[in-house]
Amino acid sequence: MANSATFRIRRVKCRDEMGGSFRENFGNDEIKGAVFSADLRGSTKNSGRFDIYPDFDDGDVKTFDPPFEAVTLDLAGKTDEVELALSVLLIESQLTEGDGLEKAWEEFVKIYGEALKEEVKKRELTVEQAYAVAQPGYLAPERISERVRGRIPVDVLVGGGTMAASESTGTATATLENDTDLMDPNEGASEEAENGWLEKTGDAFVAALITACALYVVKFAGDAVGGLLAEAQDKFFPPVKINAKIDANTPPETVPPNATGVVEFRGHDGIYEMEWDILVR
């Protein structure tokens, strides 16, 4: 049984350099990437900015051998089919941090948080139950018990909080006005009841992520995200959404069936393609 799934990049090909034929005469593309996602415990994941190739020209191919491991997702003990979703970005930039990618990440977190809020409500779950399932670290209130501490955007779910995200680490901090009132929702519950809300909360994380990745593409095309990044020094290709259903029973250190693909990026008069896979461990 696999415990985690790692999104990997096998190769990136420049089919048409950015800027059209005129710009191509004055320099090649310096391409970087980033991947946003969340795992089955509600922990948002940000690969941070990574280098792909600094000098792409038409027809150039960058092959990673072994494949580049961008982000790893916890499968939360699942033993059957698992659906994963990721937002993948290409960036033409000479920057190493900051600027547009940090803004792009903050917007992804916001969209995911709003989607998760709706999914929790649909399943008639409480915020405390969602906290109990989530793992420590992401947007965790500082003064609640370790069991209830979570990685859910608390300011979105319960209000009254603050948050600040980091591009380089994919983590953030948050505070609650009344976080001491959050108690362990599992206390006194039967095993059957506990398993029920654990499963529902896990389903909420997955559904929220799929929705967030889809909405992120749509909002990037409009002012909600794209307008925010219009004046950034980074040149962003519109993000690509990748969905993959994998079997968590796949033996570790293998790529499950259907966990490979090729996606296309178009933007700034350029065209790139990326071959990817997902390795389970």
- pTM here? 0.80
| The pLDDT of residue 182 | 41
Name the range with the highest mean pLDDT among 119-123, 163-167, 182-186, 277-281.
277-281
Nearest CA among 187, 188, 184 for reference residue 149:
184
What are 6-51's pLDDT values in tens digits?
A: 999 999 999 999 975 555 555 689 999 999 999 888 889 999 999 9
Residue listed under structure tokens 């680490």:
169
Q: Is residue 54 scored above 90 in pLDDT? A: yes
| The total number of structural domains that make up the chain | 1
| The pLDDT of residue 220 | 84
- The domain of 165 spans 4-280
What are 182-239's pLDDT values in tens digits?
A: 444 445 555 555 556 677 888 899 999 999 999 999 988 866 555 555 556 788 899 9
Average pLDDT over every residue of 239-261: 96
What are 107-161's pLDDT values in tens digits?
A: 999 999 899 889 988 998 876 666 666 654 333 333 333 433 334 444 434 333 3
Nearest CA among 267, 220, 257, 250 for reference residue 105:
220
